[in-house]
Amino acid sequence: MSSDTITAHGEDGQLARFRAAIRSFKTRFYEEQPETMRTLLEEGQHPTALLIGCSDSRVDPALLMGAGPGDLFVVRNVANLVPPYRPGAVLDGVGAAIEYAVRDLGVQHVIVLGHAQCGGIKALLNTVSGERPEREFIADWVSMATEACCHYVPDPARGGGVRAVSLDSLKGHPYLVERAAIQGSLRNLLSYPWLKVAVDDGRLNLHGWWFDLESGDLWATDIENRVFLPSGD
Cα 64 to Cα 39, 97, 151, 170, 190, distances in angstroms:
24, 21, 30, 27, 26
**What percentage of the chain carries pLDDT values higher than 70?**
92
Is the pTM higher than 0.75?
yes
Q: What angle do CA 91, 192, 229 make, to 5 degrees?
A: 110
Is the CATH code 3.30.230.10 the one for domain 45-230?
A: no
Per residue in 163-183, pLDDT (tens digit) is 788 999 999 999 999 999 999
Per residue in 26-73, pLDDT (tens digit) is 999 999 999 999 999 999 999 999 999 999 999 999 999 999 999 999
Which pLDDT does position 88 carry in this prediction?
A: 82
Which of the residues are catalytic?
54, 56, 58, 115, 118
Is residue 9 over pLDDT 80? no
Per residue in 177-209, pLDDT (tens digit) is 999 999 999 999 999 999 999 999 999 999 999
Which pLDDT does position 11 carry in this prediction?
A: 65
- In the chain, which residues fall in CATH 3.40.1050.10? 45-230
CB 81 within 8 A of CB 185: yes
Which pLDDT does position 142 carry in this prediction?
A: 97
